């Protein structure tokens, strides 16, 4: 769905909303603090027929379901790699000594992940829907880390299908909802345990209880490896909707709030694991890094940013009394100056003035692009340690993975 969905608010209402959101601290229509998310109900593992699934219900009634299915697919061999494969891999098969080196050779491809978004009442080739799915898959594939997890061996890989369904009618811009649901579904995704070795045709353990999670839980990693005990393992990305009104930064805006946004951004972040610290040879530096990590909780990494066209641009402007003929404004260029304009010493034509200058309490849709400083501040606020992202990730961690 397009973010520029019609909002049935009059210019006067928009001006009021904008004014209350510009206050310090801002007053939001639903009484939330600027960084507070809408309360939500989440559950995972709702569909036994999928590799991972999740459902999230926001308090405003919007609801989404995500199902993840995986299939084994043959990797297309590229000419360059083919020769390497024949030289060293073909005969030895599963040699333990080679395991380490093949671990490093893991590489993923963006085509291994397929994402579809279904929104009721909209065609699936709708530009808004396509934009949503592009944003979500972009965040997932941005660092190439995710696709690498789908590597089985040099000849096979997992093909992951992510089907995102919005159940409710789109009441607000569904990006945060879909992103959080996808995050949970990926967290609960398990792939069968590989039994075959090396480049054999893959053969899997049929015990589902033994199937490892695609994103290993932190408690499990601490059980298996001794080095990365403190690591919060890498998590799937989350995409947050952030908007700016005057000098305020507001998270998870509702539809009405988005209608008065000066700028809106979709920011994708992920929390990274201590991959780097375990690989670090120097034990002192490693310890320092771990200490730092413990202090900070988790490293947040920015994956992608997209500007969202705020629907506020398409809202009708209000007309100031000064320019309103019904209130005695003169329409002629050289008329007598109305009362409101008398304090102005300059000889500005009142009609022109009201169209170009901001008048207190009269709604003017924002024009032009967002300022760089504003965009910078938005991103900064998202990446802030102990901020909203931490809160959201902590909350999602609390969801029981069925």
Partner 1 sequence: MPLDTSTYNLALLRVDGRRWNELRRVHAQIRTQAAADGSSYLEMGHTKVMCVVTGPTEPGPRRGGAAAGGAGGGGVGSGGAGGKAEIVVGIVIAGFSSVDRKRYGRGDKRTLELASTVSNALAASLHTNLFPHSQINISLHVLSQDGSLLAALINAATLACVDAGIPMTDYVAACTAGSTSTYAANDEGADPLLDLNHQEEQELPGLTVATLGNSDRVAVLVCESRVQISRLEGMLAVGVDGCKQMREILDRVVREKGVRMIQEGTVEKGVGLGDIDMD
Binding site for partner 1 (CB under 8 A): 46-50, 53, 57, 59-63, 65, 67-69, 71, 116, 118-124, 161, 163, 165, 167-169, 171
Nearest CB to partner 1, comparing residues 58 and 151: 58
Closer Cβ to partner 1, 110 or 122, answer by number: 122
User: Rounded to the nearest whole angstrom, what is the least distance from the CB of residue 214 to partner 1 in the complex?
Assistant: 15
Contact 401, 45 (CB under 8 A): yes
Q: What is the DSSP letter of 205?
A: -
Q: How far is the CB of 63 from partner 1 (least distance, A)?
A: 5
**Residue 328 and residue 349: Cα distance in Å, rounded?**
15
Collapsing DSSP to helix, strand or coil, 285 comes out as: helix
Determine the Cα angle at 20 with ends 14 and 21, to 5°: 85
Closest separation in Å from C-beta 118 to partner 1: 5
Smallest gap from Cβ 68 to partner 1, in A, equals 7
- Residues 18 and 26: their CA atoms lie apart, in Å, by 10
Work out how close the CB of 189 gets to partner 1 at its nearest, in angstroms, rounded to a whole number.
Answer: 11
CB of 65 to partner 1, least distance (A): 7
Structure tokens at 213: 């999670």
Q: Supply the minimum distance, in Å, between the C-beta of residue 225 and partner 1.
A: 32
- Give the residue with the Cβ less far from partner 1, 41 or 325: 41
C-alpha 186/C-alpha 69 separation (Å) is 10
Closer Cβ to partner 1, 75 or 168, answer by number: 168
- Find residue 300's DSSP bridge partners: 271
User: Which lies closer to partner 1 via its Cβ, residue 46 or residue 349?
Assistant: 46
Choice between 18 and 32, CB closer to partner 1:
32
CA angle, 178 then 181 then 57, to 5°: 90
- DSSP string of 174-241, one letter each residue: -HHHHHHHHHHHHHT-B-PPB-S-TTSPP-B---GGGPPBSS--HHHHHHH-STTSS-------EEEE
Closest C-alpha to 200, from 150, 158, 160, 154: 154
- Of 100 and 121, the one with the shorter C-beta distance to partner 1 is 121
Residue with tokens 């080739």: 125
């Amino acid at each position: 769905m397009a973010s520029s969905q019609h909002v049935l608010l009059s210019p006067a209402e928009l001006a009021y909303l904008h004014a209350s959101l510009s206050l310090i601290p801002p007053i939001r229509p639903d009484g939330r603090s600027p960084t507070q998310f809408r309360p939500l109900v989440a559950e995972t593992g709702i569909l036994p027929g999928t590799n991972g699934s999740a459902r999230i219900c926001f308090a405003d009634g919007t609801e989404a379901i995500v199902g993840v299915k995986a299939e084994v697919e043959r990797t297309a061999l590229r000419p360059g790699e083919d020769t390497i494969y024949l030289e060293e891999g073909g005969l030895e098969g599963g040699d333990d000594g080679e395991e380490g080196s093949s671990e490093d050779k893991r590489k993923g491809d963006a085509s291994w992940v397929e994402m579809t978004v279904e929104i009721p009442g909209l065609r699936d080739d709708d530009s808004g829907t396509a934009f949503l799915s592009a944003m979500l898959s972009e965040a997932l594939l941005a660092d190439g880390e995710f696709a690498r997890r789908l590597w089985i061996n040099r000849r096979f890989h997992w093909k992951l299908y992510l089907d995102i369904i919005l159940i409710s009618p789109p009441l607000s811009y569904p990006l945060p909802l879909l992103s959080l649901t996808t995050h949970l579904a990926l967290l609960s995704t398990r792939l069968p345990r590989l039994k075959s070795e090396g480049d054999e045709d893959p053969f899997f353990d049929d015990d589902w209880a033994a199937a490892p999670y695609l994103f290993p839980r932190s408690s499990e990693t601490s059980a298996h490896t001794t080095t990365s005990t403190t690591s919060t393992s890498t998590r799937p990305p989350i995409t947050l909707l952030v908007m700016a009104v005057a000098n305020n930064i507001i998270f998870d805006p509702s539809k009405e709030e988005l209608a008065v946004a000066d700028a809106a951004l979709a920011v994708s972040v992920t929390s990274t694991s201590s991959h780097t610290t375990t690989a670090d040879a120097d034990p002192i530096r490693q310890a320092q890094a771990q200490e730092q990590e413990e202090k900070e909780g988790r490293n947040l990494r920015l994956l992608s940013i997209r500007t969202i066209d705020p629907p506020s641009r398409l809202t009708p402007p209000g007309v100031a009394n000064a320019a309103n003929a019904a209130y005695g404004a003169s329409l002629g260029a050289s008329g007598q100056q109305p009362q409101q304009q008398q304090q102005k010493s300059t000889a500005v034509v009142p009609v022109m003035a009201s169209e170009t200058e901001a008048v207190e309490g009269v709604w003017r849709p924002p024009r032009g692009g967002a300022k760089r400083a504003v965009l910078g501040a938005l991103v900064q606020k998202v990446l802030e340690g102990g901020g909203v992202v931490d809160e959201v990730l902590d909350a999602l961690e609390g969801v029981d993975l069925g």
